[in-house]
Amino acid sequence: MSGLLSVFLHLLLLFKLGAPVTFRHHRYDDLVRTLYKVHNECPYITRVYSIGRSVKGRHLYVLEFSDYPGIHEPLEPEVKYVGNMHGNEVLGRELLLQLSEFLCEEFRIGNVRIVRLVQDTRIHIMPSMNPDGYEVAAAQGSDTSGYLVGRNNANGVDLNRNFPDLNTYIYYNEKYGGPNHHLPLPDNWKSQVEPETRAVIQWIRSFNFVLSANLHGGAVVANYPYDKSLEHRVRGFHGRGASTPTPDDKLFQKLAKVYSYAHGWMYHGWNCGDYFPDGITNGASWYSLSKGMQDFNYLHTNCFEITLELSCNKFPPQEELYREWLGNREALIQFLEQVHQGIKGMVLDENNNNLPGAVISVSGINHDVTSGDQGDYFRLLLPGTYTVTATAPGFNPTTVTVTVGPGEPKLVDFQLKRSIPQATELPGQHLEAESYQSKYSPG
């Protein structure tokens, strides 16, 4: 009898593990239902919010995981996944829905690793940045004769060629001097981009994201910045281009390798008739891409983003989805965990007031980050010894030497002293960016 009971319980467990998301393609209404289903199953650690609408009015939904949904906790890093930017590249969309179910279910059963991840990290999952394009692609299905059908948004625009081009400015600044981070946007930028792009830009300007991945299809490789080469040439000409590294090149390579080697087969290198050593590539060395999202994240915000190409077939048949999930599951979790490295801390004044917008510089790495609205900062770094300086207008800079290990981030706080005593504070001295979080917080 005990043997029959054991078999029954085993079958029940298999059913339970297979039950959450069936491995099938989800149209827009199905996607929305799935997000709210996860929220209803895990209401205390999730929040569903929309960052805007597509050309055709579909919401760009995000599912947030946190032990305090809707709230930024100081010193807790923010990380995001964005899928389905190209409407016909659909695997990322399905993987992110499955990941959402997985995080919820594993948290509920007390998986220590997942519980810790949710408690220590604020995770934002956007399964589809291009819901209009997806519906066009899904209506056709996986017919390869229409390979590009649904790639663009409803206005026929490729969203990964639609962000303001900041590479031109950074390459100039690197040569002649100028800012190395948070490059400004042109005054008319909102009129130059699509509704989906505008919503994402406003989103990433409003949360202090530290790490991100953008999920695509059509190859199997982890692609890291820069995407645009110094001598920009379009894909298909002159073969592969010259690598165009960021100042954080070694860190980006490590982030890409973490995903590749945790993936079921990406690290092999030979995939889809192409070869990438270690399953990773600098974007520009593969082909030069202008106005892309990953370069924009790095040059305009504190966020380090890579692009994950996850399947040879842009619209794989649904019988392949389970295998793809098994191949990506560990990599998706390990990549989220990479946000917990380097240094982090608070930047305060003499009276212990938070200093938002303080600049954190690392000697030898020509890319700075800034503290968020609550004065906390996060600087991803590889293990090593670094000289780190915090500066803010009206304050004396403070420099420390810090040794970073391979484990958890090292806590390095800065307390800055005013350079000139001031009797009164000037109006607007501590202007903060418009807060998206208050706009979408409950209540």
149-187 in b/e form (b: 16+ CB < 10 A) is bbbbbbeebbbbebbbbbbeebbebeeeeeebbbbebee
pLDDT bucket at 253, cuts 50 / 70 / 90: very high
Stretch 151-167: mean pLDDT, rounded?
Answer: 96
For residue 413, what are its two tokens? Answer: 């706080």
Position 237, amino acid = F
Tell me the mean pLDDT in the region 108-122.
Answer: 98
**Which of these ranges, 40-44, 55-59, 314-318, 327-331, has the smallest mean pLDDT?**
314-318
Write down the pLDDT at residue 241. 73
Count of Cβ atoms closer than 10 Å to residue 55 Cβ: 17
The pLDDT value given to residue 240? 65
Please name which of 322, 375, 368, 312 lies closest in space to residue 183, comparing C-alpha atoms. Answer: 368
Mean pLDDT in residue range 47-67: 98
Length of the chain measured in residues: 443
Computed over every residue of the chain, the mean pLDDT equals 89
DSSP 384-417: EEEEEEEE-TTB--EEEEEEE-SSSPEE--EEPP
> Among 63, 186, 68, which residue's Cα sits nearest to residue 121?
68
Model confidence band, residue 431 (pLDDT cutoffs 50, 70, 90): very low
Among the listed residues 76, 89, 309, 324, the single catalytic one is 309
Average pLDDT over residues 161-179: 93
Q: Is the pTM for the entire model greater than 0.85? A: yes
The residue type found at 163 is F
Average pLDDT for residues 193-217, to the nearest whole number?
97
d(CA 53, CA 266): 34
- Whether the CB-CB separation of 372 and 72 falls below 8 Å is answered with yes
In the prediction, which pLDDT does 331 show? 98
Average pLDDT over residues 173-201: 94
Give the closest residue to 259 by CA, choosing from 338, 312, 326, 340: 338
Alpha helix segments (H runs only) across 244-396: 249-262, 283-286, 293-300, 321-337
Nearest to 126 by CA among 57, 190, 65, 195: 65
* Cα distances (angstroms) measured from residue 419 to each of 13, 212, 428: 64, 36, 19
What average pLDDT does this structure show over 233-249?
A: 72
Q: Which amino acid is at 156?
A: G
Q: Is 194 a catalytic residue?
A: no
Q: Write out pLDDT tens, residues 354-398.
A: 999 999 999 999 999 999 999 999 999 999 999 999 999 999 999
Q: According to the model, what pLDDT value does residue 230 have? A: 81
17 vs 400, which has greater pLDDT? 400
pLDDT digits (tens, 9 = 90+) for 149-158: 899 999 999 9
Mean pLDDT in residue range 423-435: 45
What pLDDT is stored for residue 232 in this prediction?
61
pLDDT of residue 231: 76
- The span from the CA of 155 to the CA of 56, in Å, is 9
